[in-house]
Structure 1
Amino acid sequence: MYRLLIADDEPLVKERLTKTIPWKDFGITQVLTAADGKEALDLALEHSIDVIITDIRMPIMNGIELLETLAKGSCKAKVILISGYADFQYAQKALRLGAIDYVMKPVIADELIKIVLRITEMIKQEREDQQKLHFANQQIHENLDVLRKEFFWNTILGRINTEDEFYRQATDLQLSIRNLPCLYFEFTFIKKRPTESTAYVLLLRSTIEALSEQISDRDIKCYCFSVEHDIISGLLFTRKDISYLSHRMDDVLIHIRHILNTISHYSFQLYMSSVYTSPTHLQLAREEVLCLKRKNNSFNYGMDTHVPPEEYSLNYYRPDNIDSLTYAIIHGSIAETTQWVNHTLLNLPSGCVQYDLRMTAFSIINSVIEHLIEYGASPQESFSQLTIVLFTNLDKIQDIPTFRNFLNAILNVIISDVRMDNPDTRSSTITGILEYTKKHFRESITSKTVAEAFYFNPSYFSKLFKNEVGIHFTKYLTNLRLEDAKKALENTNDKIANIARATGYEDIQYFVKLFKNHTGLTPSQYRESKRLNIG
């Protein structure tokens, strides 16, 4: 329901507010605490906090600074200020900055509860409004997508009779395509896949969406749609001149052909029209393609064919032992999937370039998803967006090591989706996260960046980490860094600033305050105390 954060540097105040009020009775399912504003900020961002109760006067970052920082960021938490009489002017400033209310010290529980209930009712209403808005936008987007495809198909079939009518409908559908050069293409699969294959239909739909997204850029816009299960039709528009679209076609077509190869498992033919000066000529473009099909002139683009760019070696690898990988995933064996990936690396063709590695990874994951859906190992919904996620992350593959890391990470995510009820799977995942954090804690990592490294949703990652490790990730990371700083203070003569930076803290003042907050001593005092003990 709602998450609450209590920020105060007085332990007794935090304990009283946390333990004496039955927060669950008021819809609060999670209560976190922080000793200063900076810790509160980190926790609020990490856990998507709904309500923050914060003292005004705190070390490192006070309540007003916390409120100002929250107002500038993405966190939408509602804030209640705890104020002493002398802080009344600060409380007024806090209200101007967006705080919902304030309570005077000593805090009266009933008064605080009333404010929290008022806030949770506000949040409930906001969520309902957002849900309605999201649903409305989703319906508009889905309907717009369907209407656009219907519009293009009607144009291609010659059902829109005048240029004025064409541009009127295009404007209504928010299509800025007036006088843009364009062409029409079709991919026809030579052997149909069974239409009853739910997995194939799902992958085809996801791939069509991904094609439209991935091929489109600032200068080219692609619209793909499937009229029949064995045909994918598409339109390409450019904001530049005809020569630019002709020049880019080799790149675009090789990209499309490789992507379709990864899901089809069957050969296909490509037919493409010439580039036309205006989208009002799309009917002619399709007639040209139909003529090419009658003559069986596949891969005839209607223009001069150019040699494919050197960066595409057309040499990607499609493993034939996907069944063994699927079996390992279903049984939650990360060791076996890792072994499978290593074996695959040994069998990669010589001369593989960056693009080949990306298409190999995409081919493997798509095959795995299709197998898992057909085996009923996991609901289709859990994989419905993974194809598009793959596209958006493929650029992380630069060479063999990044190929290995990418493939292992994605396979681990799939294992988590399929077998997250298996304690061994969770344990292996957390072990990897802990090892990664220990290796990189000196860098500017956060809960969000670590979640992304393991392809987890940040909120889900935070919940999983807390459940498995027993403390929040932010606290775990802080403990790692401060323990490392202690060792450096004890065993070296490095400057405090250098030690701070070496343990992941660029803000030296923040490091000193944080260190003192956790140890009771400044870094200099801590170093001196250890040397006195040795002496």
Structure 2
Amino acid sequence: MYALLIVDDEKSVVDSLALTIPWEDSGIEEVHRAYSAEEALDITSRFAIDVMITDIRMPEMDGLELIRLIRLSAPRIQSIILSGHDEFEYAQQAIRYQAMNYMLKPVDTQALIKTVEDAIKNIEQEWEKISSMQQIQHMLHANLPVLRNQFLNDLLQNKPMSQHILEERLKILNLPIRMEDNYRMMVIRMEEEFSGYDLQSLSLLEYAITNIADEVFTPFGLWHCITDQGYLVFLVHHEDRKTLNSVDSFAVKLQNHVQKFLNGAISICLGQESFFLED
């Protein structure tokens, strides 16, 4: 159910609209009344208002300024303007402040009801969109490692991709790589000690190695994937080129930690420093 706020400095207008229209039939559960813009601001600060009907000409603060101020704190409130003046300038300003409708007094009751019901539909559609986006974000977060893995594999296989799409995917996947970054590629192969493991165990080992790498390479940004051949490929980057050139010592430390904690050897191949945009 929804809450409606009616604002007008003419008390009779507010009371008439509030009391003579069966708002509950349109899904309105609460009807609030304000006889000034200041009172309306107070009500919107204390109650969750969904739809506001406001007169445009009121003393001290007009309806357009009221809408502007309300949008700063409650941008989802749907606003309907009532005016006794058919002036193009007012209509223009109403559009600028994203009022849903601009209606002339004396207002047609059925037209007003229909406008309020349309406002409610807008609210429902907006919340459905928000809910859908939250679901997408949840799914994206849950599948982020898989998506990052596939994206890097695509780049390693030189799949065609425009710079715009590349930048967008880096942003969406929250990857620690910028287009202008220098990086070094690190390829890891698990040696014979790991050859007897089944696929599930190998998957756990790969996960363990990437976790150890994240800890060892703390000063660096890492992005990794697992290739179809079973290699672990890392892009290692750092803003400072001198620090980036010290990757070799961190790679040795990674080998030692894997040997110590996972009881197996890994071979590491490090590429030369390169720009992210270079082939």
For Structure 1 versus Structure 2, the TM-score category normalised by the shorter chain is 0.5 to 0.7
Report whether the alignment pairs 1:290 with 2:258. Answer: yes
Aligned 1:37-436 pairs, distance under 5 A: 37-44=37-44, 47-70=47-70, 75-84=75-84, 86=85, 88-89=87-88, 91-97=90-96, 98-148=98-148, 164=156, 174=173, 175-177=175-177, 179-180=182-183, 239-241=238-240, 276=247, 286-293=254-261
Q: TM-score, normalised by structure 1?
A: 0.32
Percent identity between matched residues is 33
Q: Contact 1:7–1:53 (CA<8 Å) still a contact in 2?
A: yes
Q: 1:19 is matched with which residue?
A: 19
The number of residue pairs the alignment matches comes to: 211
Q: Alpha carbons of 1:10 and 1:238: their partners in 2 closer, same or farther (altered >3 Å)?
A: farther
Q: Secondary structure at the match of 2:13?
A: helix
Deviations 1:34-70 (A, max 9, x none): 3322443454365453211001122332102123445
Per-residue CA deviation, residues 380-407 of structure 1 (Å, 9 max, x unaligned), is xxxxxxxxxxxxxxxxxxxxxxxxxxxx
Partner of 2:273: none
Deviations 1:418-445 (A, max 9, x none): xxxxxxxxxxxxxxxxxxxxxxxxxxxx
Does the 8 Å contact 1:181/1:241 carry over to 2? no
What is the SS of the residue equivalent to 2:247?
coil
Q: Secondary structure at the match of 1:76?
A: coil
* Cα 1:20/1:221, change in 2 over 3 Å: farther
DSSP-derived class of the 2:76 partner: coil
SS in 1 for 2:110: helix
CA-to-aligned-CA distance 1:140-160 (integer Å, 9 cap, x gap): 333224544x679xx9xxxx8
Q: Assess, with a 3 A threshold, how the Cα gap between structure 1 residues 290 and 32 changes in structure 2: closer, same or farther.
A: same
Secondary structure class of the residue paired with 1:116 = helix
Q: Find the counterpart in structure 2 of residue 364 from structure 1.
A: none
CA deviations 1:172-207 (Å, max 9, x no partner) are: 664343644899xxxxxxxxxxxxxxxxxxxxxxxx
* 1:273-328 deviation per Cα after TM superposition (whole angstroms, max 9, x unaligned): xx6269xx87x654231234479xxxxxxxxxxxxxxxxxxxxxxxxxxxxxxxxx
Q: Is the contact between residue 76 and residue 123 of structure 2 (CA under 8 Å) also seen in structure 1?
A: no
Distance 2:235 2:40 in 1: 49
The structure where helix makes up a greater share of residues is: 1
Change (3 A) 1:10 1:236: farther
Residues 31 and 221 of structure 1, relative CA distance in 2, 3 Å threshold? farther
Structure 1 residue runs without a partner (length 5+): 184-207, 224-234, 246-274, 296-535
Structure scoring higher RCO (CA < 8 A, sep ≥ 6) equals 2
Classify 1:294/1:106 alpha carbon distance in 2 versus 1 (closer, same or farther; 3 Å): closer
Q: Residue type matched to 2:132 in 1? A: K
Number of the residue aligned with 1:2: 2
**Contact 1:81 1:91 (8 Å CA) reproduced:** no
Change (3 A) 1:290 1:67: same
2:274 corresponds to? none
The CA distance in 2 between the partners of 1:134 and 1:112, in whole Å, is 33
Counterparts in 2 of 1:94 and 1:31: CA distance versus 1, 3 Å: farther
Q: Deviations over 1:61-94 (max 9, x none)?
A: 210212344556661222111112x464554234
Q: CA deviation at 1:113?
A: 0.7
Cα distance, 1:30 vs structure 2 = 2.8
Q: Is the 8 A contact 1:181 1:242 kept in 2?
A: no
Larger radius of gyration: 2
Q: 2:36 aligned with 1:32, yes or no?
A: no
How far apart, in 2, do the equivalents of 1:54 and 1:289 lie?
Answer: 69
The whole-number CA distance in structure 2 between the counterparts of 1:15 and 1:57 is 17
Over 3 Å counting, the alpha-carbon distance change for 1:130 and 1:91 in structure 2 is same
| Paired residue secondary structure (2:79) | strand
Tell me if the contact between 1:182 and 1:276 (Cα under 8 Å) persists in the aligned partners: no
Aligned 8 A contact 1:53 1:79 in 2: yes
Q: Do 1:48 and 1:75's aligned partners in 2 also have CA atoms closer than 8 Å?
A: no
User: How many Å separate the matches in 2 of 1:16 and 1:37?
Assistant: 18
Deviations 1:183-241 (A, max 9, x none): 9xxxxxxxxxxxxxxxxxxxxxxxx9xxx9xxx9xx97589xxxxxxxxxxx9976433
Secondary structure (helix, strand or coil) at the match of 2:21 reads coil
Aligned equivalents of 1:166 and 1:293: distance in 2? 35
The equivalent residue for 2:229 is: none
How far apart, CA to CA, are the structure 2 residues paired with 1:47 and 1:237? Answer: 51
**Residues in 2 aligned to 1:22 and 1:113: alpha-carbon distance in whole angstroms:** 9
Distance 2:220 2:12 in 1: 62
- What letter matches 1:276 in structure 2? V
The one-letter amino acid paired with 2:92 is: K
Please identify runs of 4+ aligned residues in structure 1 that moved more than 6 A. Answer: 235-238, 242-245
Give the strand-richer structure, 1 or 2: 2
Cα separation, 2, equivalents of 1:63 and 1:3: 19
Q: Is the 8 A contact 1:8 1:35 kept in 2?
A: yes
Q: CA deviation at 1:33?
A: 2.8
Rounded to whole Å, the distance in 2 between the matches of 1:288 and 1:276 is: 14
Cα offset, 1:127, TM superposition? 2.6
Within 2, Cα distance between the matches of 1:91 and 1:53? Answer: 15
Residue 336 of structure 1 corresponds to which residue in structure 2?
none
- The CA distance in 2 between the partners of 1:146 and 1:46, in whole Å, is 45
